[in-house]
A and B are shown apart, each in its own frame.
Chain A
């Protein structure tokens, strides 16, 4: 298990109003925290997915017609593409991805915890809960980071408004409406989440590199 190797990210309150005695983190600090959180999230998703693949059949999603529910979020597929996308678009993509995953993960956790097989699912359901929490925290962290970037003039104000309808893809909505998340193969769901968390992690790194000029990327 690779969980022990990941850095435990401690939570510290970010001062919204500049209270006295509260250390307001810089943009670099925010980036570090967010990237650590995303790295950890990806690690856990990878562990869970590999566990499922280990115990269960490998998924056929690569060859089949099945797609992840976030398929219609247009994401850059390489380093250069991500770098050329620009701060605002990249941030929007990150936020959309994170928004799209909280609900499915919470449903996954519920379905796992209801499963009769306690030996396999007790550990996995805890992981699913942890992942859904992390997605929520990471989304909040990225929002704060975006606000900080807006205050510094890096981002325009168009990024700030986050409407649920624009973030959650329509496909996910359709899934949700039909309640198909419960019917999805956890393995497939985990595969998709692993992939998307990897995307978020890499996009955040690219964003950090292009935003903070002192890194000399």
Chain B
């Protein structure tokens, strides 16, 4: 069994180990010569068989101590190739007697096939050793590399040692190009007068670096090669000598470095001086001050911790009687300071709590600032008309330009004094039918109750635009509803008033009656005298003539009248934005009822809050399809 075989071999190894390592290749001519000379007289033997290129090989023999066989031709060489074809001994194909050499050329050389060599003398003596058998690949010793050269590389900072890159070419006899032989190389070097060679690591490239050579010393370098994965080296190449003398160039560089160092130091000192002298400016430029909280009229000292009482006192208006518009001289020298304006308006001066719309504030108006100029008289509403401190200027006839100005520029009450004064006209309280034009004119009171967004109720022929405060109407209704409960006496009045108020809802207007506006010449739809707005569609009649007869009694010949139009079937107040539901056969648009159909929750609605309810029924593209007749 293999187990027993291995163990037995191991045992034998332990006994005969000193001899074992010598016979690594099994060749007799590699054994130590001295070992043989001490024994019997030397018989003819082969001294060496070497192949240089793995395609040919040579064998040398020696007659040994039998000098009578030293004559050329006294000994003959026979070899045996142990391939499957032949098993007989053949004579050496080529003798070189001067060297006692037998040369096997390419035709007689076979790699990987065992050869055995034999010497035969004339008198039929055969000298053969079992160990003279080999295979060609195992006897290859490549030629030394050629063109050994060196170049100097990195010099150490001290300038005393340097590295050298050595390069060479593979031997021409070895067919490295075809890959038939693959070589690896080993460099030896030493100092000129030394006896020990330094051996570098074997490697496969054709260049290698020798590190740490010293200047002024001479070195000797040579190289040898062998086949990869084999053990026999070839001969050493010719030695080359490396020597590098001292290089004085380095010395001149030191003054330059000194100059550089001092120069840089001087520049650094200059920079430091500049920085120190201009410290304040640099800090301002690099680190601008962070603005602290500053409130106009309040000492910043009060804003610090622990002074809440004084701060409250100041803010509540005490002390100097409120925050004056002129600020104490705290920050005169800092023009970039922005102040926070604190609003200390007296709440009593405001008109109505819920009526004080955000619009006013948004428009930048404040009570003390806006003054009733000129027009204020005209703005006193005749109480018999509305009975309420209404902000409506219901009885004013239309004034084209004035209305335009008034309705279009709600925020500029301060400027156009006269333009707002629609109220200069005489009020006609007895007109039953109101002009369906509502003018939002004049005074601040009107503005207070006006929404920021108001529906355009009318456009005058001159181009003026009239707004209708629909939102306000709702509040009016609400309050009117509450009033009904309380004052039933004035029920008719309220109805009438409400009706009148409801009259003031207009939708699109085109005074010229041209173009597309004619088709949708919206008419005002007056509700039937009913306090409860009914559901239903409000059709907008395109034909102004249909309603003309009803409007004859009116002063206003505008096409958009028809308070008592028989065709009107509606009731609910028209919303500012109404959805066109469909177009009927008469090309009239059917509108959606306004979203707030139920009795209005009589909460004091903020005018602006109803705005979000408007875009309930915006038309979508698929609904648009339904509209096409």
Interface residues of A (CB under 8 A from B): 2, 5, 35, 39, 42-43, 46, 50, 53-59, 62-63, 71-72, 75, 77-80, 111, 114-117, 120-121, 182-186, 195, 198-199, 202, 205-206, 208-209, 215-217
Instruction: Choose one: B9, B110, B182; the contact of A77 (CB below 8 Å).
Output: B110
Pick the residue among A57, A59, A79 that contacts B20 (CB under 8 A). Answer: A57
Query: A79 to B175, Cβ gap below 8 A?
Result: yes
Q: Which of B24, B111, B137 has the most CB of A within 10 A?
A: B111
A41 nearest in chain B by CB position: B229
Q: Are A198 and B184 in contact (CB under 8 A)?
A: no
Q: Which of B83, B109, B228 has the most CB of A within 10 A?
A: B228
Number of residue pairs spanning A and B whose beta carbons lie under 8 angstroms apart: 116
Chain A CB within 8 A of B340 CB: no
A186 and B229 contact, CB distance less than 8 A = no
CB-CB < 8 A to A71: which residues of B? 84
- Are B229 and A39 touching (Cβ within 8 A)? yes
The reply to whether B2 and A43 form a contact with Cβ atoms under 8 Å apart is: no
- Let me know if B241 is at the binding interface, CB within 8 A: no
With contacts A55-B13, A115-B3 taken as known, whether A78 is within 8 angstroms of B179 at the C-beta atoms is no
Query: Does the CB pair B7–A116 fall under 8 Å?
Result: yes
**Interface centre among A75, A78, A184, A216, by most B CB within 10 Å?**
A78
Closest to A47 in B: B229
Instruction: Look across to chain A and name the residue whose beta carbon is closest to the beta carbon of B54.
Output: A79
17 A-B contacts, Cβ less than 8 Å apart? A5-B202, A5-B204, A43-B229, A54-B21, A54-B24, A58-B20, A58-B24, A62-B82, A63-B133, A71-B84, A77-B83, A77-B112, A182-B1, A205-B179, A205-B182, A209-B177, A217-B178
- Report whether A114 and B180 are in contact in the complex, using a CB–CB cutoff of 8 Å: no
Chain A residues with Cβ under 8 A from B317's Cβ?
A: none
Report the count of interface residues on B (CB-CB < 8 A). Answer: 47
B461 → chain A, closest Cβ, in Å?
75
* A5-B203 in contact (CB<8A): yes
User: Which of A39, A42, A63, A209 sits near B178, CB closer than 8 Å?
Assistant: A209
- A residues less than 8 Å from B182 (CB atoms): 39, 205
Q: B99: shortest Cβ distance to chain A, in Å?
A: 24
Q: Decide yes or no: A209 and B229 within 8 Å by CB, A57-B12, A75-B112, A186-B2 being known contacts.
A: no
B2 touches A208 (CB 8 A): no
Counting chain B CB atoms within 10 Å of each CB, the highest count among A42, A43, A57, A182 belongs to A57
A185 to B6, CA, bound (A): 8
Cβ–Cβ < 8 Å partners of A5 in chain B: 184, 202-204
**Is A42 within 8 A of B229, CB to CB?**
yes
Contacts of A182 in B (CB 8 A): 1-2
Q: Which chain B residue lies CB-closest to A107?
A: B2
Contact check, A209 vs B179: say whether CB atoms are below 8 A apart.
yes
Given contacts A62-B26, A79-B55, contact A217 B2 (CB under 8 A): no
How far is A183 from B231 in the complex, measured between Cα atoms in Å?
Answer: 29
B263 within 8 A of A: no
**B216 contacts chain A at the CB level, 8 A cutoff:** no
Please name the residue on chain B nearest to A187 by beta carbon: B9
At the interface, yes or no: B337 with Cβ under 8 Å from chain A?
A: no
**Contact partners of B109 in chain A: CB under 8 A:** 78
A209–B179 Cα gap in the complex (Å)? 7
- Whether A56 pairs with B130 at a CB distance below 8 angstroms is no
Q: Provide the bound-state CA to CA distance between A114 and B2, in Å.
A: 10
The contact of A54 among B12, B20, B202, by CB within 8 Å, is B20
Q: Are A78 and B137 in contact (CB under 8 A)?
A: no
- With contacts A53-B24, A79-B180, A208-B179 taken as known, whether A62 is within 8 angstroms of B6 at the C-beta atoms is no
Q: Is there a chain A Cβ closer than 8 Å to B320's Cβ?
A: no
Distance A158 CA – B203 CA, assembled complex (angstroms): 40
* Contact of B110 with A186 in the complex, beta carbons under 8 Å: no
Supply 6 further A-B pairs (C-beta < 8 A) apart from A43-B229, A58-B23. A55-B10, A56-B10, A56-B13, A77-B113, A80-B106, A184-B2
> Judging by beta carbons under 8 Å apart, are B114 and A62 in contact?
yes
Residue B116 CB within 8 A of the other chain: yes
Closest to B203 in A: A5
Give A157 Cβ to nearest chain B Cβ, in Å: 27
Q: Which residues of A contact B1 (CB under 8 A)?
A: 182-183
State whether B111 touches A77 (Cβ < 8 A).
yes
Contact of A206 among B110, B113, B114, B178 (CB under 8 A): B178
A34→B441 CA distance, assembly (Å): 100
User: Closest 6 A-B residue pairs measured CB to CB?
Assistant: A205-B179, A77-B110, A62-B133, A46-B229, A217-B178, A43-B229
Q: Which one of B134, B137, B229 has the highest number of Cβ atoms from chain A below 10 Å of its Cβ?
A: B229
A148 to B231, CA, bound (A): 36
Q: Are A63 and B130 in contact (CB under 8 A)?
A: yes
Complex CA gap A198/B230 in Å reads: 10
CA distance A206 to B177 in the complex (A): 10
Contact B177 A78 (CB under 8 A): no
- Which residues from A are CB-within-8-Å of B9? 56-57
A217 to B184, CA, bound (A): 20
Q: Is the CB of A217 within 8 A of B55?
A: no
8 Å CB contacts to A: which residues of B4-51? 5-7, 9-10, 12-13, 20-21, 23-24, 26
Kindly state whether residue B135 has any CB partner on chain A within 8 Å. yes
Residue of B nearest to A195 (CB): B112
Contacts of A216 in B (CB 8 A): 177
Q: Beyond A54-B20, A54-B21, A63-B130, is A79–B178 a contact (Cβ under 8 Å)? A: yes
Of A53, A59, A117, A215, the contact of B6 (CB 8 Å cutoff) = A117
* Complex: chain B residue closest to A5, CB-CB: B202
Distance A49 CA – B59 CA, assembled complex (angstroms): 25
In the complex, chain B residues whose CB is within 8 Å of the CB of A55? 10, 13, 20
B550 to chain A, nearest CB (A): 82
B135 contact set on A, CB distance < 8 A: 62, 195
A80 and chain B: residue at smallest CB distance:
B106
Interchain CB contact (< 8 A) of B55 among A39, A42, A78:
A78
